[in-house]
Amino acid sequence: MRTGKFGKVAIVMLIILGILFTAGCTDTEEVTEDTGEDTITVGIMGPYTGGAAVYGNAAKDGAMLAFNEANLSNVEVIVEDTKSETKEAATAMNKMVSVDNVQAVVGDLISAATLAAAPIAEQNQVVMISPASTSTDVSDAGDYIFRTIPGDDGQGIFAAQTMSDAGYTKLALLYTNDQYGNGLATIITEEFTSLGGEIVAEETYEAGSSDMRTQLTKIKDANPEVVYIVSNTPDSSVALLRQVTEIGIEADIYGSEGLKVGSILELGDSVEGITITSVSPESEEFKQKYMDEYGEEPPAFAAQAYDAATAIIMAIEDGATNGEEIKDKLYEMEFDGASGHIKFDENGDVEGGYVLVEVQDGAFVTLEE
């Protein structure tokens, strides 16, 4: 019985402690509101644990690089983990908005997380700039929602036009059954058919799986002239390309940037001539800066996060003090960032540039566009 009582008391205390803890935070919020008119809090949110942690940390490092460089005395940066879950993203956004009183946020990466947090940001007039969410739904998420990576429609249209211009008329699609794969495939299908082409096969696979023989066999039977592959994990990319050779698909292979990983080059001759559509690479200047700071080449989304942070910094330097003013400045600004030219359109999207990358003699070669 004694332990029973002890247990109950401990739990009740834990809860009270929790309430006091967060209540304490509310107090500090009021203090900053009263005294610190000058301090503007900016948040960074993304997945730092869980499946997408690699991308999340890269984006955080990229954004922090910009904030450290600018070293603004009136800007305070806070970081929140969202574990790539929608619920966590909503919680993190709520916390940053009401406890830390943030005015702008760099994040989230995963489109689903961004879409879950966006209504909260919009309602509280907090600017949100995603460095990685490419879903077309993000365009319509609200006035305060921006991104520094072009949406799926950009890459999809670019890929469809490139393949159409190269004279292909029979296309097969193989893509991951997730937000990214579906988004891209939908746009490519629309654009390619409107350019007079035909989609002869459309197959999906679960993200992270390594056996696509069934799908590839079906694609082979449909006899396409070209296959477009959407993959976003290195393991799947390698497995896929190996199986393309194994099954003996004669068609030319195009793919999204997920194929642009060093490990596919180990497959040798069989990957020669593969063409990859990719967002324009980061600037050499940024690459150098990132390497000096972190000792490795910038991973995906680091440059986009750097640009998102830069945009917020520029708005603040320009005199913006709250979310609404930052938003207005963002729609006006234009600059050459680490990931390319940044100019937000009326949906808060950037146009972005794309390049074609081809595997030639065992290396990725960027073709002139």
Answer for which of 60, 147, 289, 329 binds another protein (CB under 8 A) is 60
Could you report how far apart the first and last alpha carbons of the chain are, in Å? 77
Decide: is 333 part of the binding site for another protein (CB under 8 A): no
Residue 48, classed as helix, strand or coil, is coil
Decide: is 135 part of the binding site for another protein (CB under 8 A): yes
* Stretch of 76-84, 221-229, 334-342, 350-358 lying at the interface with another protein (CB under 8 A): 76-84
Give the whole-angstrom CA distance, residue 52 versus residue 50.
6
User: Which residues contact residue 31 at a Cβ distance below 8 angstroms, ignoring those fewer than 6 apart?
Assistant: none
Kindly state the tokens that stand for 231. Answer: 């993959």
In this structure, is the dihedral angle defined by the CA atoms of residues 72, 81, 133 and 210, taken in order, positive or negative?
A: positive
Answer for which of 69, 76, 85, 358 binds another protein (CB under 8 A) is 85
CB of 285 to another protein, least distance (A): 25
Q: Is the peptide bond before 269 cis (omega within 30 degrees of 0)?
A: no
Contact 105, 126 (CB under 8 A): yes
Give the whole-angstrom CA distance, residue 195 versus residue 352.
22
Q: Tell me which amino acid residue 172 is.
A: A
CB of 42 to another protein, least distance (A): 13
Kindly state the tokens that stand for 164. Answer: 């159409």
Answer for which of 65, 67, 75, 81 binds another protein (CB under 8 A) is 81
Decide: is 213 part of the binding site for another protein (CB under 8 A): no
Decide: is 15 part of the binding site for another protein (CB under 8 A): yes
Give the whole-angstrom CA distance, residue 197 versus residue 199.
7
Give the whole-angstrom CA distance, residue 75 versus residue 62.
17
Decide: is 358 part of the binding site for another protein (CB under 8 A): no
CB of 22 to another protein, least distance (A): 5
- Of 14 and 166, nearer to another protein (C-beta) is 14
Answer for which of 2, 5, 23, 368 binds another protein (CB under 8 A) is 23
Decide: is 268 part of the binding site for another protein (CB under 8 A): no
* Stretch of 118-126, 222-230, 263-271, 312-320 lying at the interface with another protein (CB under 8 A): 118-126
Decide: is 31 part of the binding site for another protein (CB under 8 A): no
Kindly state the tokens that stand for 221. Answer: 């039977």
CB burial readout 200-224, b (16+ within 10 A) else e? bbbbbbebeeeebeebbeebbebeb
Give the whole-angstrom CA distance, residue 166 versus residue 197.
12
- Among 245, 239, 196, which Cα is nearest to 220's? 245
Decide: is 13 part of the binding site for another protein (CB under 8 A): no
Kindly state the tokens that stand for 261. Answer: 């990983």
Give the whole-angstrom CA distance, residue 133 versus residue 183.
11
* Stretch of 15-23, 261-269, 294-302, 311-319 lying at the interface with another protein (CB under 8 A): 15-23
Contact 160, 187 (CB under 8 A): yes
Decide: is 48 part of the binding site for another protein (CB under 8 A): yes
Answer for which of 2, 5, 21, 292 binds another protein (CB under 8 A) is 21
- Of 120 and 276, nearer to another protein (C-beta) is 120
CB of 132 to another protein, least distance (A): 16
What mask, x for binding another protein by CB under 8 A, covers residues 173 to 192? ----xxx-xxx---------
- Of 44 and 267, nearer to another protein (C-beta) is 44
Decide: is 3 part of the binding site for another protein (CB under 8 A): yes
Binding site for another protein (CB under 8 A): 3, 7-8, 11, 14-15, 17-19, 21-23, 25-26, 29, 44, 48-49, 53, 57, 60, 79-81, 83, 85-87, 90-91, 94-95, 97-99, 112, 115-116, 118-119, 124, 135, 137, 140-141, 177-179, 181-183
